[in-house]
């Protein structure tokens, strides 16, 4: 890994670089892949990574990418990488029924921000869409992206693992549990192998928890420290693990927490950024009663530790902010604990 990341071209190339294990896995995996909801923050790099792994494996396999594609640039980048894009509204059951059958499905579609005031749309996106997909792809294996927000708030010394019962706070998190239940229902009814991929939080320097904290400090604004701590994982590692999860689908559905092994304390990270950015650090409040954390030790045993440590991510992020690296302008709102997005 480089000491620093200097450009978007370098960043994108790193995110699309498969390792030997992923290349070997793609060589063994039978059939095409289809990625639903591919136009989001992680989807484009996931599609590019899948294509790169297939090419390096020296095999022929189609990667389909499905989304509404309101962002024409995302579609163009996917097509240039070799992803075969399909425009589709996944709420439309008739349109979903026309999608090509693929034995390998990665489901990334969902809605979070803007839930407040539009709860019915959030529930439709996070439950009706999964129901449509589970029905159409009942004969496939499905990796369904989910979130650690389905767990109750945690303390640093007591982090939820996959055996922790869900206890979602607020309608967004409740609808995410609804999404999981739709895939679990399909798995139970039709025997569909499913892996529920509970992720928090992915980092790619243009967005993420570290980006949010560093940006506040760089701009002289106080950091919201109401969330005592958080976990992060390099987006390249998160995408790699998502593809490898196709080999860990089961019926009943398998559940896997995906994040980095480190527990990062918000105030300590902010002070580290203050030193790297040579800026003073201020906080808005005091830590609250809990935050979203996940125990990812099971994923670490399956896939090994992430290739990028949290300390490396912090140093990359500070340099990215100092040198004017582009932002997607999409805060994570990791500090929110009442479920209102």
Task: Indicate the domain borders of the chain.
Answer: 8-204+234-261+292-307
Which residues lie below 8 Å from residue 239, measured CB to CB, with a gap of 6+? 15, 42, 45, 46, 49
Pairing between β-strand 264-265 and β-strand 229-230 as defined by DSSP bridges: antiparallel
Which residues lie below 8 Å from residue 272, measured CB to CB, with a gap of 6+? 314
167-190 pLDDT, tens per residue? 999 999 999 999 999 999 999 999
3-state secondary structure (DSSP) of residue 40: coil
Q: What is the pLDDT of residue 20?
A: 97
- The DSSP call for residue 100 is P
For 284-320, b/e burial (b = at least 16 CB within 10 A) is: eeebeebbbbbbbebbbeebeebebebebbbbbbbbb
- The DSSP call for residue 229 is E
Q: What is the pLDDT of residue 336?
A: 79
Beta bridge partners, 254, equal: 195
Q: What is the pTM of this model?
A: 0.96
- All residue ranges of the chain with pLDDT < 70 are 114, 341
DSSP 168-217: --HHHHHHHHHHHHHHHHHHHHH---EEEEEE--EE-SSSSHHHHHHHHH
3-state secondary structure (DSSP) of residue 283: strand
Are the beta carbons of 222 and 282 closer than 8 angstroms?
yes
Which residues lie below 8 Å from residue 317, measured CB to CB, with a gap of 6+? 203, 205, 208, 210, 211, 214, 273
- The DSSP call for residue 154 is B
Q: Distance between CA atoms of 269 and 224, rounded to whole angstroms?
A: 12
Q: What is the pLDDT of residue 333?
A: 84
CA nearest to 109, candidates 69, 72, 145, 75: 145
Interhelix angle for 235-244 vs 8-15, to 10°?
20
Residue 229 backbone phi and psi in degrees, to 5: -155, 170
Q: What is the pLDDT of residue 341?
A: 67
Using alpha carbons, list the distances in angstroms from residue 13 to 146, 154, 269: 26, 35, 27
81-126 pLDDT, tens per residue? 999 999 999 999 999 999 999 999 999 999 887 677 889 999 999 9
Q: What is the pLDDT of residue 118?
A: 86
Pick the CATH number of 8-204+234-261+292-307 from 3.40.50.720, 3.30.70.141, 1.10.3720.10, 3.90.850.10: 3.40.50.720
């Amino acid at each position: 890994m480089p000491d620093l990341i200097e450009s978007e071209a370098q960043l994108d190339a790193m995110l699309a670089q498969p390792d030997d294990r992923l290349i070997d896995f793609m060589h063994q995996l039978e059939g095409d892949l289809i990625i639903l909801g591919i136009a989001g923050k992680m989807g484009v790099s996931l599609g590019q990574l899948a294509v790169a792994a297939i090419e390096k494996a020296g095999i022929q396999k189609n990667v389909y990418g499905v989304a509404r594609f309101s962002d024409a640039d995302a579609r163009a980048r996917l097509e240039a990488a070799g992803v075969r894009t399909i425009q589709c509204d996944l709420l439309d059951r008739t349109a979903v029924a026309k999608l090509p059958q693929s034995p390998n499905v990665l489901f990334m579609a969902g809605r979070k921000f803007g839930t407040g005031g539009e709860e019915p749309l959030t529930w439709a996106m996070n439950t009706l869409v999964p129901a449509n997909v589970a029905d159409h792809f009942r004969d496939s294996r499905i990796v369904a992206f989910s979130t650690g927000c389905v767990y109750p708030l945690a303390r640093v010394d007591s982090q939820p693992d996959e055996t922790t019962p869900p206890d979602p706070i607020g309608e967004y998190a409740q609808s995410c549990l609804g999404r999981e239940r739709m895939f679990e229902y399909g798995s139970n009814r039709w025997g569909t192998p499913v892996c529920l991929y509970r992720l928090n939080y992915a980092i790619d320097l243009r967005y993420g928890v570290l980006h949010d904290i560093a940006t506040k400090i760089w701009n002289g604004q106080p950091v919201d420290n109401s969330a005592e701590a958080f976990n992060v994982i390099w987006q390249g590692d998160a995408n790699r693990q998502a593809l490898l999860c196709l080999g860990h689908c089961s019926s009943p559905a398998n559940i896997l927490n995906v994040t980095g092994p480190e527990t990062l304390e918000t105030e300590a990270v902010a002070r580290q950024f203050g030193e790297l950015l040579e800026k003073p650090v201020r906080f808005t409040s005091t830590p609250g009663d809990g935050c979203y954390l996940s125990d990812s030790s099971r994923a670490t045993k399956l896939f090994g530790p992430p290739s990028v440590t949290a300390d490396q991510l912090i140093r990359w992020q500070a340099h990215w902010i100092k040198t004017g690296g582009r932002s997607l302008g999409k805060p994570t709102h990791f500090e929110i604990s009442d479920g209102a997005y």
